[in-house]
Structure 1
């Protein structure tokens, strides 16, 4: 049962927070920045208002999950820290002497209360509205990119994950007490998952029974991590390969198994939209959706900045979509402008002369277009060079065939859109905006390296979306706080 209204916890000790939690503490700043009542309004229908045991506040439960993302820790460790860390208690709206929740409540909250909730768009929309309200977002450009997250079951099987976790735990124990080697169970040597589960459970039991040892932070953290992995594996080991994850490619010879999160971000580094897909999905097709979500969140967009993955024909059409006149700052795929040529064989395009210049610096003298227009066949522009210059050129060995009567260079032109984009790529506006793209790569790095977004913490795309929602909510709040100082 959920109370009809949230009640403020009053305590004679609450004044301690003013002494202990400084004004520049991140959690205090977040509490002062945002009213979390929107979480209550979103989840109130998931609770019974007049029957059953009194439920924990959904706002407090959500804040626990947010703490997990901010500090990248297990459920058990976050709850334990909230027992003695006054900044945690302040953030959770607890009185200093109040008891903490049971860590298992967080699992139930994720599975029962957050299920079927569009948390990703809810949290992004909330932070964007705060940024707009405070006048932080002034640009009309969004930078787009996709970042990958490895599946929880990648690159190891459930068996390998358990072995790695138990290895880290034993290592932490031996660093403190080498004599424990004779007390711990003999390692499992078979490749049977059930045998490994039995071994890890026994390892956990014996170390937990040594209360002095298991209470040491270095051991306790590894022990809690093994417990959490055991529980998750016992529930999901039949599906040890994540059914929603797929193999994607970071490059021609580098692959990963997991998910992609497609992001849109303003030049002020506020994420305005996100779409989570399986790893094999292309980046370009998600652009219209990112644009639509950003606009629905109140962002005015006149320029989209991305890499060549976003230069597809459908995305270039966004320029004239519904009269929006949106520029797409995305370099055309080299196969469009130069064909599949090696770097040393590529010619430079001179937009003013509308001619290509060879590596030796000679400009074409004539251009001819071949191919029938609008019949489904690509047209080709062929540029002809002065053959007399080619005969005496220092680079002729790699370029000019002896006795050839002509020297030409051909470029496939698939549409007028591509021609317009080639010209746009040479403009100062394009070059200025293209220099902003690094910002989203830095944001991807923050999500992965600071907030654990390099790997999924659970199985399935729904869990990945929840993880993404909390990670993006966190980095947006931190950015707003920084810009609002």
Structure 2
């Protein structure tokens, strides 16, 4: 039988409490139950004047606005406010009644500019949430997974200009320079002449919309302005730290800032990273810190049709390389980049039968380079071949890669409408705080359910004992 819905219910009137309109199993109800947001008052206390001005918006309500946006992957603050106006669960979470006015969409932006710009407030919020996770005993920092991801900036790829900028120095430059000087002195080589390498200038593409973003180039078709987030998590997927950088900086350059944060906050043991971090400087740094770096296999950067570097055997005792034709490449010099150069004898090479697969040098000289810290990379290779570490590296897809996928697919981290690296840092921090909160809520809910189930079993068991006791008593008296 065909039926038609009675639309007169739209005008129905009744007495309802907002509490009754929010489902008991709603995610925001669980967040309010299991997450303590009271720490926000202490964080922002010095940002408010206690004696002058009009009463301000509750700072917890203010911080919850972007949390709702990032938690549910809403595109913008304007759209978030529209959602709050019609969503009873959002109103309940913010403490707003059905008749209360929802803050204007520009409210958070203005408060950010006046109170939070230039501060570490949002990063502190992330670590306060992480501290609540750690008090539950569910965070394990013995195995830390580190990786970077790119977030498309709010900038038109066609609105750009070439600007001459100062090239950023590597974190190990000073230490490497000392190592080079020591090595050249040991080999009776003259010291290298001083240069202005620290003030080297380079031409780079810069966005006219968001100059703090970086030109990200990946493959033939992906060229956009973007930001890069360096992220660390433990083996259970808890996010432990993050840093924000322009998208044109390589992972090996941005690693050090995240590493310093992790080192200052946690006790580290094993660091699992992809091939982008497999550089002599990072390997040397981690081994000096008595940490275990876990890297994958990295394909040699060799031209097709030529011998690979591992086809040339290094003789540590005589400090030379032996080519596939059993000829010796002797030490020549140590260059400014920290590479020891080994060269072949051109007289021996010019009549070599495999010369065409060895080098295309006009003077028939093959040059092999070996970094001063090559032993650190060799040690990492020894670690890589151990089965336990191979299994450990495979966990990246279950931990750090899953975090990136979830953040981009469900929490709006694939793109950003924020302009400037500081606002981008805020968005990344709050998004990862939301991911940690989701996991914490699930675990606390599960534990609370087990406790309730255990108490129910105890009550049922006590009731059964009472029944048995009554039956035994009646049996005795009869």
1:310 corresponds in structure 2 to 277
1:102 corresponds to which of 101, 104, 118: 104
Q: Give the Cα separation in 2 of the matches to 1:399 and 1:50.
A: 80
What is the distance in 1 between the residues matched to 2:341 and 2:391? 31
Specify whether residues 417 and 75 from structure 1 end up closer, same or farther in structure 2 by C-alpha distance, changes over 3 A only: closer
Match of 1:268, SS? coil
C-alpha separation in 2, matches of 1:30 and 1:264: 24
Decide which of 467, 478, 481 is 2:427's aligned counterpart. 467
Residue of structure 1 equivalent to 2:46: 45
User: How far does residue 254 in structure 1 lie from its aligned partner after superposition?
Assistant: 3.8
In the superposition, relative to structure 1, how do residues 73 and 247 fare at CA in structure 2: closer, same or farther (>3 Å)? closer
**2:271 aligned with 1:293, yes or no?**
no
Local SS of the residue matching 1:261: strand
Query: SS at 1:272's partner residue?
Result: strand
The answer to whether structure 1 residue 31 and structure 2 residue 35 are counterparts is: no
- Following TM superposition, the consecutive aligned residue runs of length 4 or more in structure 1 with deviations greater than 4 angstroms are 13-16, 343-349, 364-370, 372-377, 379-382, 410-414
Residue 475 of structure 1, CA deviation: 1.5
Q: C-alpha offsets along residues 73-109 of structure 1, whole Å, 9 cap, x if unaligned? A: 4333322332332211221123444332222322212
Q: How far apart, in 1, do the equivalents of 2:434 and 2:380 lie?
A: 36
Aligned equivalents of 2:404, 2:296: Cα separation in 1: 21
Pair 1:277-2:245 in alignment: yes
Structure 1: distance between partners of 2:94 and 2:208: 35
State the alpha-carbon separation in 2 of the partners of residues 330 and 156 from structure 1.
37
Q: CA RMSD in A?
A: 3.8
Match of 2:200 in 1: none
Unpaired segments ≥5 residues, structure 1: 1-12, 159-238, 355-363, 383-390, 401-407
Structure 2 portions without partners, runs of 5+: 1-14, 161-206, 317-323, 345-352, 359-365, 447-478
Give the Cα separation in 1 of the matches to 2:223 and 2:82. Answer: 38
Q: Does 1:55 align with 2:17?
A: no
Equivalent position of 1:482 in the other structure: 442
Q: Quick one: which of 353, 371, 396 aligns to 1:437?
A: 396
TM-score, with length taken from structure 1: 0.64
Give the distance between the partners of 2:240 and 2:213, measured in 1 at CA.
24
In structure 2, distance between residues paired with 1:429 and 1:380 = 36
- CA distance in structure 2 between the aligned counterparts of 1:343 and 1:255, rounded to whole angstroms: 30
Change (3 A) 1:261 1:413: closer
Secondary structure of the structure 1 residue equivalent to 2:230: strand
Q: 1:367 to 1:469 in 2, by over 3 A?
A: farther
Relative to structure 1, the CA distance from residue 374 to residue 421 in structure 2 (aligned partners, 3 Å threshold; closer, same or farther) is: farther
**Which residue of structure 2 aligns with residue 417 of structure 1?**
376
Q: How many equivalent residue pairs?
A: 359
Per-residue CA deviation, residues 278-306 of structure 1 (Å, 9 max, x unaligned), is: 11112113223212322434x33211111
Q: Name the CA shift for 1:93/1:427 in 2 (closer, same or farther; >3 Å).
A: same
Alpha-carbon deviation of 1:377? 4.9
**Is the partner of 1:242 in helix, strand or coil?**
coil
1:71-150 alignment runs, 5 A limit? 71=72, 72-150=74-152
